[in-house]
Amino acid sequence: MPNLHLTKVAFGCRTIEALEKRVAGRARDGEMRVVTRMRPKRGDELIGGSLYWIVKHRLVACQQIRRFEDRSDGRIDIVCSAELVFISAQPKRAHQGWRYLEQASAPPAEGDGSGVGELPPLLYGRLAALALV
């Protein structure tokens, strides 16, 4: 099992459904490409890991990272599987670009059993603002 993953904000996606539509619209031949300016220095460790998506300050879904490819314009494609796997939501601050996520900090696929991931986004946001979740 890979020990390293990436996190990325699903910019412009206000809901999980919007992220799902985006992935479906960009998928080609079982893969989806995410463009980035910088090649991760730890790219070899990321192959087989996951790209975790942040929507409304929560990690909500992930896709397996298959490889990295150079583009003719100097940017890099993060080539992921087209399958979007929903996870039990976990709080995560928004950031620009992507960030590394160690396996020990990655959310469990089966959830933590607390039910926090099932809260509606608005309620979750208010509880998070009060530092209650």
pLDDT tens per residue across span 67-92: 999 999 999 999 999 999 988 888 88
Select the more confidently predicted residue: 88 or 7. 7
Distance between CA atoms of residues 65 and 77, nearest Å? 11
Q: Give domain limits for the chain.
A: 4-129
Confidence of residue 31 (pLDDT cuts 50, 70, 90): very high
Query: Residue 111 above 80 pLDDT?
Result: no
The confidence band for 1, taking pLDDT boundaries of 50, 70 and 90, is low
Q: Give 104's pLDDT tier (boundaries 50, 70, 90).
A: confident
Distance CA 66, CA 122 (A): 34
- What local confidence, expressed as pLDDT, does residue 45 receive? 94
For the entire predicted model, the pTM comes to: 0.82
Q: Given a cut of 80, is residue 123 above it in pLDDT?
A: no
Distance of CA 60 to CAs 9, 35, 45, 75, 116, Å? 10, 20, 22, 26, 12
Q: Which position has the higher pLDDT, 81 or 109? A: 81
